[in-house]
Each structure stands twice: as C-alpha cells, then as structure tokens.
Structure 1
C-alpha cells in the first residue's frame, strides 16, 4: 500500500525548533562591475503559520571575520505567513533597479564574504556581545536567524558558498528550508529579489526533494570526470527500512538505483549529456503520493580541436563564446604577467591572451620566448578582448624563440582589430602627442599615439618599467601589444625598450654621451657630473640582460650577444635611455 502524505498547511510541528521568520536571500554585489542589480539587498521570509510583527527588529551586517556590526531597522509591519520583505542596501551605478523595496538601510554588503543576522532588537551585536567570540558569531535570545557566506566566521553550523556580483545566497524551498546549517540550507544562484507584493509562498509540511547542485543546464569542463548531484530533502526521513522510505534515482534513463541516505550522488562522467532523475519512495519501493521527484540535466563539454589560434578565433566568431578548445600549434609567449598569471601568446597565424587567475591552472614556469605545447582552455570575452582560460596544465615545447613584430599602422589596427588583437606589432614613426618633456607615464591611463592616425596607448601594465618615466618626445618606432576595449583598439608596450625603440627621447641626464655605438667589448658612458650611475641593459624582448651600479665611465658588455639593445641610465634620480648595437 502506498504511503499517503496530506498537505497540512496549518500543521507546523516540524518548524517549531527553527525560526519562524528567516533570512531567505542575500546579495552583496549591487552596483559592482557585472552586477545584476544596482543595490545590495537582504530578503526575509515568514516560513511559519502566524503573522509576525517586525517592530523593534533589525538586520545587521558584519564583514567575514569582523566583530563590528552595522544595523538596519525594520519597518513596523506584520509579515504574513509565506510573505517576503525586501530590504535595500547601498549600491552603485551598474545593474538593474530593484523591485520596490519595503525598507531601505545604509548597509554595504561584501559581494563575496560576510555575515548577516536577523535580530529582535536594534542594539548592535557588538554592544551586546562586547568581546570575541560573541561579537564575531553572536548566539543568544536576540538572534532570530543568522547567515554566513563565503569565509564568514559567523554562521549556523557552516557558512554557505561565497557569492559574487552575479549570484545571491538563496534559502531552499523558496525560503522554507531551515536545518540550522547555512551550507545545507542555501545555494548560490542569480539574484531574484522578492517583496511584500510578491505572491505568498506558504510553507508545507509535506515531503519534498530538490536537486540543489548542479544548476539545470550547467556545462562542465571536458576535464570533469565526476559530478556530484546534491539533494535537499524536507519532511521525509530517508533510511533503510527504519524511516519514511528512501530514494530511487536513474542516470540517463538507466537502471534504477536505490539510495538510503541523503549524501550527493556521484556521477562518473566523460564528455556528453546527462539527465539525473530522483524520487522519494516508501519502504515498499513505491513512489509516495503525491509524487515528489526532481530532474537535472547537465553537460560535460568536449574539446573542439583547432590547428592554430586563427582557427580558434574564427570558430568563436562563427559559433560564439564559451566553447572549449585544444590548440595543435605551439604559440610563443610574448609577455607574462604576475597579475592573474596572464600570458600573451602568438603563433604564425594570430595571438590570444591566456587568463589564468589564482590558483593557476598552468603551473609550468614560462618566460618570453617559450613555445607552449598542449594548450587547452575555454574561450571568454572580457571587455571585448578574447581570452583563453586554461583547463589543464601545459608544457614548454622549446625556449628562446623570437617573435618578430609585424610592422603595421594605427589605421590598419583599428580597421582590423580582431586580426591583430593580443599580437605583438610595431608602429613606426609614431609620436606621443601630449609629450612635453615633463609629463610622465602613469598606470591605467590613456595616451594618444599618432603615426598619421590616432590610436589609444593604454598603460595596462602597472609593473612596466616605464611607469613614472617621462613620456618620450618625437617620432619613433613603438613595439606594442594590441588590445580590444569593447570595439576600440588600444595598444600597450611591455617595457621601456618597446616604448623607445629607435629613439633617444628618454633623456633627462645632462651631457650624456654613450660610445662607441656599435660596441664590441666595452661601453663608455659619460655625463656632465660623472656621478654614480645605475645602468640596465635590455634585449629586444624587454628582458634585462645586464645591471650594474658604478662610478666608472666604462662597463664591460662582452657577455652580450650581437644584436640591438636598450640601455637605461639612472643618475641622481634622473633617467635616460639609448639604443645600443652590439657587433
């Protein structure tokens, strides 16, 4: 005989040990770059069977590990069973407007990690609990509900996952689930603020089963070999013969598997599509009535093999962003950055920016001139620039490779930005139009570069050695990497050597004379005062190959290979550069 469960909406025996009014949603990314909404918000919900007056209540916020709480008083209203209340916090310029809020408070939530309490008082938590650990994770009769997210040290049992500008923390079952464990009761999903005008969602005492992870339609990396399907079960004791029943599940319509606990279902995977179906059954293996089941569909992506970077770019243009690629060519590193472990790489056909934020996926050390083997990753777009997010480590196929910058004009770059994006190129006879002999380069600024056509020179690299140096005057050949900022071409140099190629305009030292040039074994450097000088020599790739501090007028350059170099001389805080040819 099937076990029948009635929907007894007024029976709330299962709710009496938890709060009647709870925090049902938290969003701290309001107004940030990429934010879904302009303002932060906290949403509370009455999951009980009786109205609750909120007069004298508050929501309070503290940083993830902080003990100082900011208070936002709640309005004097009766929150009905199944009713939400939307509390608007501080915000910024990005994102959509929130629905009409029921309260506005001066609280600025973190977009990633923090903690929120719902209290039956407007007294700050750190005025009630004046010292740790109470001020960090308050527990007492004033606390109606508490939610920690990310790395917060204040929570119920454990904090839920970290949030972002595009995700909010959601209490399961539309706010009805409350097991006093934030990690189990909340998921991260796209924010969906609800207010007192939202249709009531009265909690039921009937059994239910939900799949909380992965989200339906999720696409996983081709490197994924196992996906955990996480379940949330309410009002139903899952056990082997001693509880209300157990769980049946299938994967891709295969054989039914009996499950006697609520731990995640581990699904072994290879590239392909997967559908997992779960349902609650009684101890006789019959579906309960009314039926309670859930389904999730997800995909493990396959790599798209491409011959080279141009083929990758063509596929993105044809089929859109977000696919995974396996590149057959061995692109050469033209620049590396500590920031987000970025690498600009280029093969004979095109270039791309590798974006590899911590923890880095590519752990093999790489420098300029290394050719990469086994490059795989996912395509993404950041402000118009195509990036490759690596999915597995890559190796160095060979070292010491040279990428000769293609000579192009600013007009050609602007007219064909996709063709040149992230490439190392050279713009000849180009002038910084604002250079006056005193203005210096500052990080994160735009400067106009002109070879007959204007193009933006953007100082993207705060680590570059020309930051703080005087902008060179006069026309010269400039080696640059090409960037795309939402359809507008920008260029940036890797080093002072790139900026000053073919010029002596970085000249701030009186009486400077560098000779002979070309040189063989020794280089003489004299100035008006002949003081102590720091001399750095860079090769054409921007790599420092010699550095010395001396009061002598002569330095030994016999260790340098034949080629073109840039010499940077610093004397008493003043700097000058010279191009040097070694025979």
Structure 2
C-alpha cells in the first residue's frame, strides 16, 4: 500500500505541474495585426515543467475541433521554469515591442482576429488551459477581443481546461453586455500591451481602474456609471477609498456607482489605504457630453470645424438614407435639401439602431457622436432615436468631375455622386474580374495642369455585389457613394447597376431628329442637356430656356425671348471625331421673326465640359420660317471626344429653333459653313490664382459668373492681353464671358 500511495502521489504532483501553465495575455492590436499579435503563457506553479511535445492550438469559426494547421510546437521552451513567462509572436514582433519573442511563428494560433479560441495542450493532447468556448464563434460573446487584448487576472493561480470568463479582463472594439470584465476600448500596440510581464507574476501592491476608460465621453442623458477596479496584493486589512473631483468616500467596494450630470467632467482617484497610508493609487478622467442640436449634416460639419471631433449631436432636420450595409450596421446619409448637401457615415457596430432603414428614407432626430477614422467622418449612434418621416424619396446623384472630387473629397464624402462624363477602368481587359474590398482606377480623359491623367478609385466596398464580375471595357457611367481613405477620394458603387455603359456616347455617326416619342418622352432628347445661366426660366409659358417644342413628328429644340437676357446652353451628347467618319456636323435651324433676330453661337467643348475647344460659328442668324441646313467641318478636332453647345444671350428678341442634328463624314454633307469667330486664347485651366486672356484685338469686357449665372468679377481692360485675379473664388466651375469688338464668347474654367 505504501508503494501504491507513493505512485498516486507522484502521479498527482506530476499532473499538478502540468496544470499550472496558463495563458496570461493574447493580443490583436487594431494597428499592427500583421506584426503585433502574440500569445503569452506563464508557469504559475512552484515547479518547472518539461514542455517537450506541448502545443498551442486555435479553434476558428465556431468549429468544435481545433484547426490542425494552427498548432505551434512549444518544445523549444524545454524546462519551463517556475514563474517564467514566454511569448509566442509573429516575425515582426521585435519591430513592434523592441525585443524578440520566445518563439517566432506564423501559425494561426498566434494570429487570431479576436473571435477564436486558444488553448495550451500537453504532450498527451490534453487541454491544460483555454481561452474561449470551443464550438462557439466568439463574435458578440464575452470572449470576443477583436482589435483588442486579453489579460488573465492577477488573482488566477491555476490553469483551467474549461473557460471561466470571470478570470479574464477583455478589451475589444465592441460592447458585449452581461460580462464580468469586457470593455469596449480598441487597443494599440505597443503602448496598450505588456508582453513578457504578467500582472499576476509580481508581488507589487497595485490597484487598476477598469471602467470607465480614461478620457471617455459618456452619452448625454447618462445618469450614472460604475467605477470598477481590480487590486493586486493588497495588505491584510487595507481598504479602498475613492475621490471624485476631490470629494472622498472611504472603504468602498468595486463597483462604485457614481451619479452623473450632462456637461460635467469627473476626475476619479482610487487608493489602497493601509492604516492611513496610501500604498497604491490609480486615476481616470471622463465627462458626460452635451447634446448639440443641428438642423442638418452641413451644420454639423460646420460645428466640427469650430469645436472639433468627438461631440454629441441631434440632427433635427431630415436626412436621406442613400445606402445601407450589414457590416457594422453601416448607413450613409446626406442632407435632403438641394441647396447645400453634406453627407456622413453612420457607424453602428454595437447595433444601437434597431429600426430598419432603407435607401430613400427621410429620417429625423438622429443622435450620436462624431469620430474620424482614416479621414472619414463617422457618426456613432448612442440611441435609436431616428424617426422615418417618409420613404421612397428620390436621391439624385451630385454631378462631380474626377478633378473636383480629388481636390475636395470632404465636400462630397458620404453623398451620392455621379462622375461627370464617362470613364474607363484601367484594369479592364475583357477577362479580369472585380474582387471584394478592392480599388480600381478610373479615368475620364481629362488631365491636370502638368498633363497627367486625372484618375480616382472605384472601391468594391459592399461585399458580394461585384465579386467575379468582369470589369467592363467600354466607357461607363459611374454612380456611387463618395468616400475617402486618408484624403484619397474613392467612389463606392452600391449595386451592379451603378456602373453601366454610357449609352449617350457615340463612337459612330448618328442623327437626332427629335420626332419619336415613347411613354411621353422624346427619345432622341434623352442624351441632351441644358444649362440656364441667364433669365429665370418660365416653364408655364416656355420662355427663357432651351426646351422641346412642336408636335409628334415635328419636334425641335427651341428658346423663346424674355425681357431679361438669356445666357443659355443647349448641349449635345458626347461623340468621337474620326477622320472621314464623324468629322462633319449639320443641323437645320430657323428664326421665329427676321425683325427680332435671335443669334446663336455654335461652340465646341471637351467631353466633360471642362475645356472650351473652339467656336464653329458666332452670332449666327438664321432666316425666319425657312429651315436652312448648316454644315461644319470638325476635322480640326480629330481624335477628340467632344460636345457641341448652342449658346444664346439676347434680350427681348424672338425665338430660334434647332432640328435634325447629324454627325457624319464631312465629305457627305456639302459646303455651307458660316463665318468663324475671332481668335482668342486663355490659360491656365484649371486656374489657381490668375487667369490670362489674349485676343487679336482689344478686349472690351470680361465677366466671371458662377454656375447660377451670378456675376462675381467684371472688368473693362481695353487691352489685347488681360489678367483676371480669381484667387478669392472658391474651388469649383465658373463661366468667363469675353467681349471683343462687339462679339461675345463664353467659356468654362475650373478653379482649384
């Protein structure tokens, strides 16, 4: 029996030492996932442990069994001494933390993204110590530590083959309720980690505040919060005192409930008091926010410019939902008013908003605080306060050029946009497909001041929408939510239909006679557009703007006089000019009355209306009641993608009409070409500060107008070369009206 007892004792002692190797820290930094992840273990027993054949393994995706390929051999730790700590880290560990780990490994067990389970196995395959619950995906549980940290509490003195969440302090990027110690506080390497130094391995007396996190701003309306802490090695008989803004309460226990008021800051200190002597201390500061009401997102962004990020707001006006996404419960919203539109991303990773929002919903009363991540403004909700006041609203995308989007992504961020003109995907080759979460360069044919092609990125932000779809090779129209990554503009198409072939781009000849009507719409007019910069259009009388007139079978574009000056453009679809194929233009036109002529200019612009290319005819006066055919040679613009603009700027004249617009070979049209206009040039475009204009005669007047037709700058230089100071104007598009010897030309410039 003695021998039996001796064997039983030996077996017990042997397994006891095995059972004292524990996991003490796991890292998933939010800033260094590829290099800063690690697992720390510690021998809490009084004996050394032979680690030969021991392994570290990981469970993933809720699997019931650990992944075989995840195993990390711990044999190199050899005789793991009592009180010794070992760190298993990735190859870049030393670059982050300043010293090499005990074991370097790229295996999955040291590379957890925060929702896995990790365990230490002995040489017989027994689980000695474990973090998490096998068979349970960690997302949303007390053992989720995504972008955070796991730390074994200092009070733990033995291993546990069944996870006990009360033994762990957990930090993550999300809030999980009903956990002993689980804090929503993403962790940053190296400052938030202490590899190689477990708190339980020290005899030092300490006290650490767990909640609230230092410098936290609590939501307005928070009436109370719990001050919680943990202690290590407190002297026998010692107590804890708490000071709140200097007022002390003695002999308190964790958690201590503190009553709060909006707009108040709190400085909290907890002390371990040993017979009147403070032997350990810790301190945090936090505050309760004040809810600022703003009418819309534009006003919210203006307040941020003054008061900075991190404050709490209620948006009292209507915000339109332009996109929703299940990842982190994201929602993109923008102002409902058309005069000033700003957007914002609602980032609801904690699932605060339970109301289901759909694209086109108008929502009021949204409450949250602001944050900025990678240059993008986020609105973090703290209540489900939004009220859907209407649904199915139409959200028209904002038209923006690539150059303007790149120059000022903040202005367009999180709003629905359409890239002006059509674009090409640089990666398109007929076979390459889109991948989720990737960037794809697009260009619109324009260049910057140094001749470099303007480009931006289409990002496949919304998973499952574009995956394995072939990148289109033809010219495309791109619509999407505008975004940015650290200042670099991006566009996030929401569905496949947000990227579609440009049906209004003509590579071959075409004719538009405007006579066919389908479902109440003139078919040929679909690709035409107008810009009204002069008098206010009267849609009731049809005066003051380019519009469609006539009856089915005899419809044409026209513009009627008003008592105020026109400044109006009728703009054709985009087309390519190819020698011998599309190098000729013809149209029919006539006046309403010879006594009140309505002269027009026939102008050539680039495809995106960024640059004025030339004048085909200036002050063209067509006969009344006798439709004439006008023919123009476009060969000077060979190789260009252009648009034709008909421009009028008269006062109190009568009316003019355009019909049967045709692009074909010039040789097939004949030779009826009106006189060309005088020559002038301007540069640079885009302009930073000063625009230079040169003409062949003295320039009588120069006027700079905004896109609403409002005059901003007016000059009468009477010289052949003039300069216009545009440094005070905001970034955007402007029209410059030039008068030389009684003839007027208008062109468009971009201000950077």
TM-score by length of 1: 0.64
Residues 170-193 of structure 1, C-alpha deviation per residue, up to 9 Å, x if partnerless? Answer: 2344x8766968533432354524
Alignment of 1:27-66 (within 5 A): 27=27, 29=28, 34-35=31-32, 38-47=35-44, 52-56=48-52, 58-63=54-59, 66=64
Contact 1:442–1:467 under 8 Å retained in 2: yes
Distance 1:353 1:58, change over 3 A: farther
Whole-Å separation in 1 of the counterparts to 2:498 and 2:118: 51
Q: Which residue of 1 aligns with 2:258?
A: 267
Q: Which residue of 2 aligns with 1:100?
A: 100
Give the CA deviation at 1:275.
3.3
Whole-Å separation in 1 of the counterparts to 2:142 and 2:354: 29
Contact 1:432–1:450 under 8 Å retained in 2: yes
Q: Which residue of 2 aligns with 1:360?
A: 351
Whole-Å separation in 2 of the counterparts to 1:118 and 1:441: 43
The answer on 1:164 being equivalent to 2:146 is: yes
Aligned match for 1:429, one of 409, 413, 421: 421
Give the CA deviation at 1:337.
3.2
Contact 1:406–1:424 under 8 Å retained in 2: yes
Higher relative contact order (CA 8 A, sep 6+): 1
Give the CA deviation at 1:448.
1.6
The answer on 1:397 being equivalent to 2:389 is: yes
Q: Which residue of 2 aligns with 1:8?
A: none
The answer on 1:519 being equivalent to 2:499 is: no
The answer on 1:409 being equivalent to 2:401 is: yes
Whole-Å separation in 2 of the counterparts to 1:466 and 1:408: 27
Alignment of 1:477-496 (within 5 A): 478-495=478-495
Distance 1:199 1:307, change over 3 A: closer
Q: Which residue of 2 aligns with 1:541?
A: none
Distance 1:480 1:278, change over 3 A: closer
Q: Which residue of 1 aligns with 2:300?
A: 312
Q: Which residue of 1 aligns with 2:249?
A: 256
Distance 1:36 1:462, change over 3 A: closer
Distance 1:59 1:364, change over 3 A: same
Distance 1:74 1:296, change over 3 A: farther
Q: Which has the larger radius of gyration?
A: 2
The answer on 1:221 being equivalent to 2:194 is: no
Give the CA deviation at 1:450.
0.9
Aligned match for 2:444, one of 442, 445, 450: 450
Give the CA deviation at 1:371.
1.9
| Secondary structure at 2:37 match in 1 | strand
Give the CA deviation at 1:74.
3.9
Distance 1:501 1:275, change over 3 A: same
Residues 379-401 of structure 1, C-alpha deviation per residue, up to 9 Å, x if partnerless? Answer: 23344332222222211233444
Distance 1:294 1:339, change over 3 A: closer
The answer on 1:194 being equivalent to 2:186 is: no
Contact 2:143–2:170 under 8 Å retained in 1: yes
Distance 1:470 1:161, change over 3 A: closer
Report which stretch shifted further, 221-230 or 77-86: 77-86
| Secondary structure at 2:421 match in 1 | strand
Could you tell me which runs of 5 or more consecutive residues in structure 2 were left unpaired when the two chains were aligned. Answer: 1-15, 172-186, 447-453, 507-514, 524-752
The answer on 1:184 being equivalent to 2:166 is: yes
Give the CA deviation at 1:22.
3.5
Aligned match for 2:131, one of 148, 160, 184: 148
Q: Which residue of 2 aligns with 1:111?
A: 113
| Secondary structure at 1:413 match in 2 | helix
Structure that is richer in strand per residue: 2
Aligned match for 1:67, one of 65, 73, 97: 65
Distance 1:432 1:322, change over 3 A: same
Whole-Å separation in 2 of the counterparts to 1:78 and 1:364: 58
Distance 1:202 1:451, change over 3 A: closer
| Secondary structure at 1:430 match in 2 | coil
Contact 2:21–2:159 under 8 Å retained in 1: no
After superposition, the CA RMSD in angstroms is 4.4
Give the CA deviation at 1:373.
0.7
Distance 1:102 1:425, change over 3 A: closer
Whole-Å separation in 1 of the counterparts to 2:118 and 2:432: 46
Distance 1:201 1:266, change over 3 A: closer
Distance 1:54 1:111, change over 3 A: farther
Contact 2:151–2:168 under 8 Å retained in 1: yes
Distance 1:338 1:40, change over 3 A: closer
Whole-Å separation in 1 of the counterparts to 2:305 and 2:468: 35
Distance 1:480 1:245, change over 3 A: closer
Contact 1:429–1:451 under 8 Å retained in 2: no
Whole-Å separation in 2 of the counterparts to 1:71 and 1:409: 53
Whole-Å separation in 2 of the counterparts to 1:122 and 1:18: 10
Whole-Å separation in 2 of the counterparts to 1:351 and 1:415: 16
Whole-Å separation in 2 of the counterparts to 1:101 and 1:435: 42
Contact 2:344–2:415 under 8 Å retained in 1: no
Contact 1:40–1:108 under 8 Å retained in 2: no
Whole-Å separation in 2 of the counterparts to 1:390 and 1:337: 15
Distance 1:61 1:249, change over 3 A: same
Whole-Å separation in 1 of the counterparts to 2:345 and 2:409: 18
Contact 1:483–1:489 under 8 Å retained in 2: yes
| Secondary structure at 1:56 match in 2 | coil
Residues 423-469 of structure 1, C-alpha deviation per residue, up to 9 Å, x if partnerless? Answer: 22333331325598956863545142415243333333346589837
Whole-Å separation in 1 of the counterparts to 2:76 and 2:477: 66
Q: Which residue of 1 aligns with 2:695?
A: none
Q: Which residue of 2 aligns with 1:503?
A: 503
| Secondary structure at 2:518 match in 1 | coil
Aligned match for 2:331, one of 339, 343, 346: 343
Could you tell me which runs of 5 or more consecutive residues in structure 1 were left unpaired when the two chains were aligned. Answer: 1-15, 126-137, 238-242, 507-514, 524-583
The answer on 1:386 being equivalent to 2:377 is: yes
Q: Which residue of 2 aligns with 1:291?
A: 279
Distance 1:62 1:229, change over 3 A: same
Q: Which residue of 1 aligns with 2:700?
A: none
